[in-house]
Chain A
Amino acid sequence: MEPNAFMYLTVAAVMFAIGVVGVLTRRNGIVVFMCVELMLNAVNLSLITFSKMHSVAAAAGGAAANVNPAAGSMMVFFVMCVAAAEAVVGLAIVISIFRNKLHIDINDVNIFKW
């Protein structure tokens, strides 16, 4: 069976859903982080898929001729950059939480509550 766009998008959606559930349910800061990365990469996968779809359609002279096929790929680079920056800051926070509390249970970090 030839892989098509639908399959790629399904994988991306599943990855995104896993990421969301992970962020909402896990208490370990590192794992939450990894889930966020998972979500980001799910988005990246769908971006790439759509980019490819549009480039094929454009080559065939379809309706999406006016869409730049490189746009999706460019977005991916942006997302990766932001993700890298976010990882830097996020991990630094996680490390400083660990230094103070000797664990990284995010439910214990609630000093901003009412």
Chain B
Amino acid sequence: MSNTVLSLIVLLPLAGAALIGLTGFLNERFRHQEKLIGLIATSAVAIPFFIILAAFLQFTSGHGEHHDAIRFSIIPWIETAGIKINFSYHLDQLSLLMGMIVTGIGSLIHIYSIAYMHHDKGFYKFFLYLNLFIFAMLNLILGDNMAVLFLGWEGVGVCSYLLIGFWYEDMEKAKAAQKAFVANRIGDFAMIGAMFMIFGQVHSLNFADINASAGSLGDNAFWITLLLFIAATGKSAQIPLYVWLPDAMAGPTPVSALIHAATMVTSGIYLIARMHPVFNVPAAEPVLIVIAVVAAATAILAALIAIAQNDIKKVLAYSTVSQLGFMFMALGAGAYTTAIFHVMTHAFFKACLFLGSGSVIHAMHHYFDETHEHKDPQDIRFMGGLKKYMPATGMTFWISTLAIAGIPGLSGFFSKDEILANTFFSGFDHGSIYFIVWLVGTITACLTAFYMTRLTYLTFFGEARYKTDKHHPHESSPLMTIPLWILGILAVVGGYLGLPAGVFGHNAHILNHTWFHGLINNRDLEHTMHEHIALEYGLLVLAIAIAVGVVYFAYNFYAKNGLEGDEKVKKVFGSMYKWMENKFYVDEFYEKTILKPFVWAGDNIVVWFDKNIIDGVINGSASATAAVGDVIRRMQTGYVAHYALIISIGVVIIIGYLILG
């Protein structure tokens, strides 16, 4: 395909954003043309999807042997003697896969949003931001150098900020947006540090150059990888920077599905997978352990919190944090392709879950409007039995729940099992800490199955906890349910790209052994797995037992107890439940230990510095100028003769110099 066509992948979303933004800004009537806006915005994402799909087909057929990346570039950016950075992009296996996820799910969510954002006064702005987000995200995943990736990295941060604070008239939501932005900035700082270090060592920001010279980085690899991981904790919501993601649910639900579940939050995983040769350097081995430990801690912490939440989106948000933890566990075990595999399956079922929750919220909102009740449409305590009124939403939500819980045959099962197997087998050769990570991961998997079943049951099954005599909630329009079905189906079949290699044979894992072959080199665990093949079967059986057992138990538990079930869960966890309910007081902890000292320092030290040092320098230079002026202005006597004398003396000196000198 020609450079021009390929450039459209990146340029069309930008053009869509510009068109919608400028026209909407200048023309009030355009703002209400919801169908037109929706059409423009959706095609600005769908066309790139089809181009990427065509590139994918070309890649798999024509390039079959070589697996050379398809490259295209738009314009040069920085060109000096020491550095050359262009807006150039590459479509290799990793970028193609991520690109298809982003534009594919992006298109579905655009379609969904047309119905979801119906009659919102910021309708055109919403689609402007969405298109802009897709543009930034494509820069992030397609850019062939770190500078373009960083532009995208910052761009998605800005769009995330704009969309979380989309209903900015609500102070809470504006604050949530700010929190997300600040937490992301901390990670970005580490990212810049990593870029400087890499440029200092490699003298290039191209991924190809960096990865090729990863071996020569030596001990620097430790710091570079650590900084990259810190950058990833910001964007991908890991301890300690995960706190922004649950608050980010203040944004419209399609945004939560697109940005805060399927795409943006996985960019940290993409970054590490893209630069994995640096992580494979021996000096970076401790960092991998750090990643695995932090990821396991994040996963279980978020899962524990999710059990005790009643807001449908909050549960999903903590679930996302927890699942991102799983992905980082895979990275920590050096199984980069596995992490990407989970990124993909998670994108399917979590986007489906979020869109499903959006459909529920939409329905409950209308229902409460009709009955004139002032209840929170996101609180699952006011729901129940919705399956009867919203069959499509209920069905897809249930499928995705089973997928995330790891029911065999569905996508989540394959990717999660692979992650746990990889962490487990890393324990043999790479430090027994991986066994602990595996144990924590397995417990988290139990918790996941439990809280997701609880969420689905309390929302869709059992008795309706609202009056249904006059009004009842309605199923959403096909614009919303069709994307749900597509994502639901993907959540079922997505896992078959990666059948467990140990059980089904080497080639069954299409993703690892065919697709990523030669591009991404996982830490080699295969011989360990073969040595302990019985253990691999054991793990598989354990995973199946956990998923089926816990889902079965949780379903019956809530079927029997209904909302009272939470009381029993409370008894089981004892005093810890209060901590879970209050999100382990992490926000309060940050408030006390970081925010307060900062505000105090701002009020005292910075103000003092400003008043005395900054103002002192400025006022001082002003009075110094005045003092000097006071002295030298005495020269201006006002007598013409004095001036004439000075001129004459000057002339004499100059002419004397010319003649004698």
Contact = CB atoms under 8 A, between A and B. Distances in A.
Interface stretch (A53-61, A69-77, A81-89, A106-114): A106-114
A114 B632 CA distance: 10
Contacts of A24: 641, 644-645, 648
Interface string B639-655: 11100110010000000
Given A20-B648, A24-B648, A107 B641 contact: yes
Nearest to A29: B640
Interface in B605-661: 633-641, 644-645, 648
Nearest to A26: B641
Nearest to A36: B644
Contacts of A114: 633-638
B641 A23 contact: yes
Interface in A11-41: 20, 23-25, 32
Interface in A78-114: 106-107, 109-114
A113 B640 contact: no
Contacts of B634: 114
A106 B644 CA distance: 12
A23 B644 contact: yes
B651 to A, nearest CB: 9
A112 B638 CA distance: 5
Contacts of B640: 32, 106-107, 109
Contacts of B641: 23-25, 106-107
A109 B636 CA distance: 13
A106 B639 CA distance: 7
A57 to B, nearest CB: 21
A111 B637 CA distance: 9
A113 B644 contact: no
Interface residues of B, number: 12
Contacts of A106: 639-641
A106 B634 CA distance: 19
Contacts of B638: 109-114
B637 A113 contact: yes
Contacts of B645: 24
A32 B635 CA distance: 22
A66 to B, nearest CB: 22
A27 B656 CA distance: 28
A85 B322 CA distance: 91
A110 to B, nearest CB: 3
A93 to B, nearest CB: 11
Contacts of B636: 112-114
A20 B647 CA distance: 11
B631 to A, nearest CB: 10
B648 A107 contact: no
A25 B639 CA distance: 11
B652 to A, nearest CB: 10
A24 B641 CA distance: 5
Nearest to A20: B648
A107 B645 CA distance: 14
B297 to A, nearest CB: 74
A83 B372 CA distance: 97
Nearest to B633: A114
B648 A110 contact: no
A111 B639 CA distance: 9
B641 to A, nearest CB: 5
A110 B639 contact: yes
B541 to A, nearest CB: 99
Contacts of B648: 20, 24
A111 B634 CA distance: 14
A110 B634 CA distance: 13
A110 B635 CA distance: 13
A18 B196 CA distance: 74
Nearest to B629: A114
Nearest to B645: A24
Interface in B584-608: none
A22 B541 CA distance: 118
Nearest to B642: A24
Contacts of A109: 638, 640
B637 A110 contact: yes
A112 B640 CA distance: 10
Interface in B198-234: none
A19 to B, nearest CB: 11
A12 to B, nearest CB: 15
Nearest to A110: B638
A3 B645 CA distance: 34
A24 B636 CA distance: 16
7 contacts: A24-B648, A25-B641, A106-B639, A107-B641, A113-B639, A114-B633, A114-B635
Given A110-B637, A114-B635, A114-B638, 13 more contacts: A24-B641, A106-B639, A106-B640, A107-B639, A107-B640, A107-B641, A110-B639, A112-B638, A113-B636, A113-B638, A114-B633, A114-B636, A114-B637
5 nearest A-B residue pairs (beta carbon): A113-B638, A110-B638, A114-B633, A114-B636, A106-B640
